[in-house]
C-alpha cells in the first residue's frame, strides 16, 4: 500500500502547489481562466494503481477537463461575485444523467420529492431555527450532518421514504460534497418572511424550492443564477455542454458499480480550483503579503509532514487525517504567535454571528459557512498544540504536535520571513495583531488551509479503493468548535443516524 500512500501525497500536494504557485505569481493581477491550467495539468497525471477503480479516477479527471474546457469557451474570466457558484453546476447535470440511465433511481427521487411535500412541520421548524440563528454559526451546505445543515434535514426526511438504502445515500450525498444547485435550505423562507409574507406562505415557498432542485436540477440552478444576477457566462449552456461531456464517464462508473453517492460527488468537489480557488477574489485577497505567507507556510507544513511520514502510514485514511490535521496545527500555531488561540476566536466569532443575524436577517444561507470551517480547523489545531506544549514543558525542544503517532513539522512557519517579521506590515513598534488580522481574512476563505484541493484529490483516491461505500457526507462527529466551546447543540446532530 505504500505506493498508494505516496501517490495520494504526490497528487494532492501537486494540486495544492499548482494553486498556491499561480496565486503567488498572479496576485494583484486580473484573473483569466487559463491561469488554472496548472491545476488541470497535474490532475491529468492521476492514474489508478493497485486495487483502485479506474472509472472513479475518470470521473475526477473528466470533470476537471470538461469544466476547464467549457469555461474557456464561454468566457475569459469570472467575476468575484460569480466565482462561489462554479462548483455547483456539476451535480445537477450528473443527477440528470442518472435519472435518464436508471429509471428506478428517478422513481426513488420522485418518492423523496413527495415526502418533502409531507414534511412541512420538520422543514418549517428547521428553516425557522436557521433564520433566527438558533444553532449558532453553522454550515448550511456542510459535508457532514451538523445541526442547521442541509444534509441534516435531508437525512431526516429520507428516514421516512420507502426506497432502496443505496438511493437514499445517493440523494443525501448529492447535497453534501455533491453540490446539487447553489440553494441553501432556508433562503426562500427567510426572504419571504422579511418581505412581509406569512409563515405559512414562506414555508410553502421553501418546500416548492426544495422539490424543484431535485425534480429539475439544471432548471433550478439556472433560475437561481438568473435571480442572483449571474453575469460571467451562460450557465444553462455550461450545464448542457457539461452533461454531454460527462455522460460516458458516468455510464462507465455505473457499469463498474460505483456507488451513486460517489458518482454525484466526485465530479463536483474537484473543479472548484478552476475559477473559484484560483480566481479574481483569491488574487485580490493574496495581495496582502501576510495572507500569502500564511498560505505558503501552512502548505509547506503539510507537505513536509506528509512526506516525512510516508513509511509510517498503515491506512489511506491516516494520510487524509494527517493532511488536514497538520494544517490545523499550523494555522493554530500562527494564531498563537500573536497571543490568540482557538477558544478566544471561537468566542469572538460566535458572538459576532448573533450580532450579524440581527443586523442582516436576510443574510445569505452560506454567510458564516467558512467561519465555521475555520473555527473547526483551529479548534482541532488548538487541541494538538496544547498537548504539544505540555509535553514540551520548559525544555528547549521545538513544539511538535502529534496526530496519532505522526509528528507534525511546524518548522516552515518559523523559517517564513514574512510570518516571522510582522513589524514590516504595520506600525513596527506595535505590530502585535498582524498575523491574527491576516487569519481573520482567511476565516472567510480557508479553502487552501483546510485544504480543499488536497481533500478532493485524496478523497478520490480513497473512493477509488472503496467505490461501493459512499464517501459523503462524513458519518463522523465533526467536533464542531462552537458546539464544543460555546453552544449546546450536540443533540441536534445526525452523524450517528445517517442513512
**Domain range list for the chain:** 2-492
H helix runs in 309-341, sequence order = 316-337
* Angle (CA) 221 86 60, round 5°: 105
Contacts made by residues 238-243, CB under 8 angstroms, sequence distance 24+: 238/70, 238/71, 238/74, 238/89, 239/89, 239/92, 239/93, 241/66, 241/70, 241/73, 242/66, 242/67, 242/70, 242/89, 242/90, 242/93, 243/93, 243/96, 243/97, 243/218
| Mean pLDDT computed over 459-464 | 98
User: Which residues share a beta bridge with 406?
Assistant: 403
Helical (H) or strand (E) element with 407:
strand 406-407
User: Which residues 6+ apart lie within 8 Å of 452 measured at CB?
Assistant: 269, 272, 273, 277
| Mean pLDDT computed over 353-368 | 94
Whether the predicted pLDDT of 347 surpasses 90? yes
| Mean pLDDT computed over 382-406 | 96
- Of the candidates 367, 353, 363, the one whose C-alpha atom is nearest the C-alpha of residue 191 is 363
pLDDT at 141: 79
pLDDT at 365: 86
| Mean pLDDT computed over 8-27 | 99
Give the Cα separation of 450 and 478 in Å (integer).
Answer: 13
DSSP state of 59: H
Give the Cα separation of 288 and 295 in Å (integer).
Answer: 11
Q: pLDDT-based confidence at 151, cuts 50/70/90?
A: very high
| Mean pLDDT computed over 120-131 | 97
Q: Is the peptide bond before 451 cis (omega within 30 degrees of 0)?
A: yes
Q: pLDDT-based confidence at 385, cuts 50/70/90?
A: very high
Give the Cα separation of 274 and 19 in Å (integer).
Answer: 9
Whether the predicted pLDDT of 178 surpasses 90? no
208 C-beta neighbours (distance < 10 Å), count: 12
DSSP state of 132: H
Burial class (CB in 10 A: 0-12, 13-18, 19+), 65: middle
pTM score over 0.85: yes
- Of the candidates 68, 59, 62, 66, the one whose C-alpha atom is nearest the C-alpha of residue 39 is 68
Q: Which three cell numbers stand for residue 492?
A: 441536534
* Angle (CA) 235 237 241, round 5°: 120
Give the Cα separation of 328 and 43 in Å (integer).
Answer: 25
Mean predicted lDDT score pLDDT of the chain? 97
In this predicted structure, which of 36-40, 99-103, 179-183, 258-262 has the lowest mean pLDDT? 179-183
Whether the predicted pLDDT of 290 surpasses 90? yes
Give tens-digit pLDDT for 11-20. Answer: 999 999 999 9
3-state helix, strand, coil in the chain (%, to 5): 65, 0, 35
Phi, psi angles (nearest 5°) of residue 400: -130, 90
Give tens-digit pLDDT for 404-448. Answer: 999 999 999 999 999 999 999 999 999 999 999 999 999 999 999
pLDDT at 288: 98
| Mean pLDDT computed over 445-470 | 98
At 263, is the secondary structure helix, strand, or coil? helix
Buried b (16+ CB within 10 A) or exposed e, 134-173: bbbbbbbbbbbbbbbbbbbbbbbbbeebebeebbbbbbbb
DSSP state of 498: -
Give tens-digit pLDDT for 180-236. Answer: 999 999 999 999 999 999 999 999 999 999 999 999 999 999 999 999 999 999 999
- Of the candidates 472, 495, 370, 465, the one whose C-alpha atom is nearest the C-alpha of residue 7 is 465
Give the Cα separation of 387 and 240 in Å (integer).
Answer: 52
pLDDT at 140: 84
Task: Please state whether 325 falls in left (phi above 0), alpha (psi between -120 and 50) or beta.
Answer: alpha
Q: Which three cell numbers stand for residue 213?
A: 432542485
| Mean pLDDT computed over 379-408 | 97
User: Which residues share a beta bridge with 278?
Assistant: 274
Amino acid at each position: 500500500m505504500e505506493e498508494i500512500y505516496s501517490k495520494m501525497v504526490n497528487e494532492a500536494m501537486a494540486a495544492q502547489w499548482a494553486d498556491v504557485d499561480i496565486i503567488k505569481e498572479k496576485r494583484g493581477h486580473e484573473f483569466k481562466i487559463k491561469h488554472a491550467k496548472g491545476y488541470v495539468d497535474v490532475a491529468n497525471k492521476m492514474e489508478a494503481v493497485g486495487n483502485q477503480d479506474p472509472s472513479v479516477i475518470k470521473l475526477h479527471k473528466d470533470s476537471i477537463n470538461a469544466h476547464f474546457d467549457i469555461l474557456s469557451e464561454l468566457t475569459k474570466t469570472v467575476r468575484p461575485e460569480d466565482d462561489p457558484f462554479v462548483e455547483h453546476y456539476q451535480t445537477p447535470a450528473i443527477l440528470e444523467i442518472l435519472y435518464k440511465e436508471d429509471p428506478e433511481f428517478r422513481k426513488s427521487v420522485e418518492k423523496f420529492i413527495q415526502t418533502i411535500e409531507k414534511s412541512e412541520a420538520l422543514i418549517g421548524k428547521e428553516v425557522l431555527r436557521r433564520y433566527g440563528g438558533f444553532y449558532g454559526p453553522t454550515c448550511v451546505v456542510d459535508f457532514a450532518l451538523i445541526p442547521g445543515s442541509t444534509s441534516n434535514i435531508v437525512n431526516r426526511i429520507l428516514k421516512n421514504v420507502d426506497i432502496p438504502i443505496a438511493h437514499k445515500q445517493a440523494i443525501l450525498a448529492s447535497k453534501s460534497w455533491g453540490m446539487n444547485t447553489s440553494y441553501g435550505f432556508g433562503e426562500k423562507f427567510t426572504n419571504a418572511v422579511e418581505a412581509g409574507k406569512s409563515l405559512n406562505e414562506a414555508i410553502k415557498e421553501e418546500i416548492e424550492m426544495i422539490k424543484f432542485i431535485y425534480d429539475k436540477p439544471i432548471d433550478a440552478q439556472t433560475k437561481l443564477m438568473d435571480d442572483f444576477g449571474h453575469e460571467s457566462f451562460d450557465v444553462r449552456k455550461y450545464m448542457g455542454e457539461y452533461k454531454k461531456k460527462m455522460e460516458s464517464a458516468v455510464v462507465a462508473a455505473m457499469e463498474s458499480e460505483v456507488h451513486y453517492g460517489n458518482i454525484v460527488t466526485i465530479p463536483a468537489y474537484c473543479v472548484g480550483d478552476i475559477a473559484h480557488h484560483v480566481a479574481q477574489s483569491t488574487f485580490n485577497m493574496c495581495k496582502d503579503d501576510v495572507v500569502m505567507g500564511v498560505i505558503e507556510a501552512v502548505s509547506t507544513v503539510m507537505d513536509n509532514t506528509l512526506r516525512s511520514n510516508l513509511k509510517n502510514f498503515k491506512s489511506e485514511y491516516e494520510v487524509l487525517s494527517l493532511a488536514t490535521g497538520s494544517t490545523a496545527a499550523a494555522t493554530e500555531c500562527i494564531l498563537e504567535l500573536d497571543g490568540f488561540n482557538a477558544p478566544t476566536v471561537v468566542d469572538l466569532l460566535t458572538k459576532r454571528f448573533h450580532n450579524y443575524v440581527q443586523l442582516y436577517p436576510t443574510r445569505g444561507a452560506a454567510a458564516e459557512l467558512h467561519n465555521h470551517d475555520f473555527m473547526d480547523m483551529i479548534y482541532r489545531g488548538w487541541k494538538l498544540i496544547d498537548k504539544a506544549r505540555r509535553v514540551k514543558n520548559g525544555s528547549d525542544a521545538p513544539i511538535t504536535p502529534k496526530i496519532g503517532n505522526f509528528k507534525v513539522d511546524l518548522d516552515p512557519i518559523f523559517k517564513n520571513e514574512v510570518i516571522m517579521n510582522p513589524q514590516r506590515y504595520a506600525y513596527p513598534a506595535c505590530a502585535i495583531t498582524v498575523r491574527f488580522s491576516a487569519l481573520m481574512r482567511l476565516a472567510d476563505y480557508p479553502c487552501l488551509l483546510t485544504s480543499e484541493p488536497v481533500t478532493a484529490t485524496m478523497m478520490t483516491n480513497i473512493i477509488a479503493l472503496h467505490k461501493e461505500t459512499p464517501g459523503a457526507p462524513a458519518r463522523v462527529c465533526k467536533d464542531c468548535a462552537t458546539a464544543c466551546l460555546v453552544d449546546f447543540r450536540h443533540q441536534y446532530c445526525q452523524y450517528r443516524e445517517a442513512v
